[in-house]
Amino acid sequence: MLSLIRKGAQVVQATRFTLPEDSQTVQLRFRIYQHIFRFFTKILLGHKISDSTYAFKMFDRVFIQAVGLTQTVRSISPEITLKGLLAGGKVEYLPAGVRTKQIGSKFKLHKDGFGYIWLLIRGFGHRIGITWF
C-alpha cells in the first residue's frame, strides 16, 4: 500500500472482491449489499469501484482532509474512497487475503444502510454540480 501511495495514489484500498477465494470469506447477504452499492455507485457517481466499504485502506491524509469528511461509523470508509475519486484522486485496489472466519457480520442494513445511501445521494449531487459534498 505504501509503495502505491508513494507512486501517487491518494487512496489504496484492500478489496475482497477481486479474487473469488477472497469474496467467499464475506457473508452472502453482505456480498449482495456490496453488489447493489457498487451498482448504484457506477450509475449515480460514474465510477466503477471494487470495494469501497472495506476499512483496510491507506490514504494521503492531507488530500483527504482537504476534501473533508463528514460521515461517521461504517460509512466513513466509503466516503474516503468516493471523495477521493470525485476529487480527481487516484484510487488503487489490492486483493485482500483470505480470512479464516466470515466477515460482514457486524454490518446491519437497518442501522448502517442510511449512511451509505446518504453518501451516494450526496456524491450524485456533487457529480451534477452541487458542491456541498
> 1-29 pLDDT, tens per residue?
999 999 999 999 988 888 777 777 777 88
Return d(Cα 76, Cα 45) in angstroms, integer: 17
Tens digits of per-residue pLDDT, 66-122? Answer: 988 888 777 888 899 999 999 999 999 988 765 555 555 566 666 677 787 888 888
Return d(Cα 46, Cα 65) in angstroms, integer: 23
C-alpha cell at 133: 459534498
Domain segments of the chain: what residues? 2-127
Quote the pLDDT of residue 110. Answer: 64
Return d(Cα 9, Cα 60) in angstroms, integer: 8
